Amino acid sequence: VNGNPSQYKITLSGTVKSPKLNFDPPFLILMPVPLDVETEADLSIIPQDYLRPSQIRVELPEVELEDGNRIYPFSVQYPEGQDIVLSSDGKNNQLICHISFRSSKPVSFLGNMCFTDEEEN
């Protein structure tokens, strides 16, 4: 620049993409089962636009029974881990999430599981 900054102009432009998670299937219906029998399903989590490694977390819903007691009948496992990593081609690898439900009391539930990363995306 040599003391004359007006001689050079640089224009920068860009697009900021927020990381997000997509799911396949987008919603999950678990089969009705007898009491104390587990029902389960696998869900693919497809991370997009993550530029650095992160880890998936899930907030499991609490279910209120007819007698007023509260239970957590859902459990989640990640058979291949819950870390979001970049592949060699710059894309994020998908994760498998194994969701199961078991209750010793009669219950029907419709609700959300909230999946987030370390930065609450």
49-75 in b/e form (b: 16+ CB < 10 A) is ebeeebebebeeeebeeeeeeeeebbe
The answer to whether the CB of 105 falls within 8 A of the CB of 37 is no
pLDDT value of position 5: 59
The pLDDT value recorded for residue 11 is: 85
Q: Residue 38's pLDDT is what?
A: 95
| Structural domain boundaries in the chain | 20-116
pTM over 0.85: no
pLDDT in tens, the chain (121 residues): 566 656 667 888 888 788 889 999 998 889 899 999 999 999 999 998 888 888 999 999 999 888 889 999 999 999 999 999 877 777 788 999 999 999 999 888 888 899 998 888 8
